[in-house]
Copies of this chain bind each other. A is one copy, B any other.
């Protein structure tokens, strides 16, 4: 790289961007100006001299790596979510990351343009999945499954505008639970709301509220307000923005962009301000306009039944009938819901969190039929937990509190104070591994003892097993608690030592370790307050 080797990195990037710019305005298409010729020469030199192009190392726009710190938080949250899904009898399932493009088209309304398509490399036209609901409906239709309660945790991809604020990315994880099948009304729907409550309570994110509405009430409201039927879905998508935009702006969008008559918009405006409990359902039954609409009445009837079941489940106080809830996706046909966290009073030093909805879902009775050659329907209702937002909230709280997480689960470190003890360490650590104990050592022939102990402190390993000349001679090993620095040794062939160490906080969740090693017997028992360790040499 005789030429480029001399350029600092920033100059080099600016040179590249010059090379890539279009012909300058004064040039005709056929004749290139002098500076461009010079650049072309440079480009060919570049190719000749530079085997490895110095491209920028990054992840694709709108995506990111998940570091071990991220993964620990995620694992905990996903475990809680999945165990709730399993508690409700759901089966696991997975579908490919991409689908035939035609499987996904016309399912998402205005958002369809945000799909990632795969390049046509000969063969089928494919797109990355946009959610987990449409693949589930495709699965049901394809396998002629009429009944299924399943959960699905997986990545989905959307080419949204790159505002990576508050945890919105182009690649993100969804956690879905759905009940497919023809059942008596509102029983599965009520269970979906129960699951949302269990998960949001379990995660201890603070107080929350679940807004509930019904697509039939939304459509009925549009009809009685005078929205032309052809504009229903477009206006629905505007209403859906009410949680992020003021009514004034939504009204402007409906009137100016979507051509709705101002007086129609104002009639809608009156309704979407209404929210309340089951009494609002009763009130809407009496509404002079809404009560004239058959669809709306069906929706109201179902909501009334739903509230009855929610009361039996003991969660009615968490639910709010909210006429402003519309949900953006096209495929909903009945009850819809969305959970929001209620703003907790900002603590000192804590950034106010405005994260929008953290779980949502609804009934979609027509989607499976869209895939069935004969149009056979399978009614479905489900929910999606907004885990990415939840990850974000939990991470922010941990940051504020200065909480540290261990990114490994290592229980024991194998150390030596002497040189030339690699062989002994390797033998001992293999025994620990073979006994199911999580163990580490340094990959050095002769590490310093201080370096080894420092590694334990910085990574949070609670116990160190030490072997040196003295221990080898006596036929014992030494065990050290990293936190308290207490040491005990034991394991001589003549006696069995029982050792109590103060219980290290970091291993409070460690399970009973009772392991028989071939050369030492180490039994570690734990209760809430202490750690008892029995060390004895085994007879060969």
Contacts and interface: CB of A to CB of B under 8 A. Distances in A.
B438 A87 contact: yes
A443 B187 contact: yes
Given A68-B93, A91-B407, A58 B155 contact: no
A430 B373 contact: no
Contact of A95 (B59, B68, B91, B190): B59
Nearest to A123: B61
Nearest to A371: B57
A426 B191 CA distance: 9
A409 B373 contact: no
A179 B116 contact: no
B443 A88 contact: no
A402 interface: no
B198 A433 contact: yes
B87 A66 contact: no
A57, A190, A444: most-surrounded residue (chain B CB, <10 A): A57
A313 interface: yes
Please classify how large the interface on chain A is, using the bins under 10, 10 to 19, 20 to 34, 35 or more. Answer: 35 or more
B150 A68 contact: yes
A188 B57 contact: no
Given A142-B57, A181-B443, A437-B87, A96 B126 contact: no
Contacts of A71: 91-94
A314 interface: yes
Nearest to A68: B91
A184 B444 contact: yes
A194 interface: yes
Nearest to A59: B96
A190 B93 CA distance: 37
Given A65-B94, A71-B92, A91-B407, A370 B52 contact: yes
A230 interface: no
Interface in A84-120: 86-100, 102-103, 116-120
A445 interface: yes
Contacts of A120: 119
8 contacts: A57-B373, A60-B126, A65-B95, A71-B92, A75-B92, A117-B118, A312-B427, A312-B430
Interface of A: 9, 52-55, 57-61, 63-68, 70-72, 75, 86-100, 102-103, 116-121, 123-124, 126, 128, 138-139, 141-143, 150, 155, 157, 159, 171, 179, 181, 183-184, 187-188, 190-191, 194, 198, 309, 312-314, 370-371, 373, 407-410, 422-423, 426-427, 430, 433-434, 436-440, 443-445
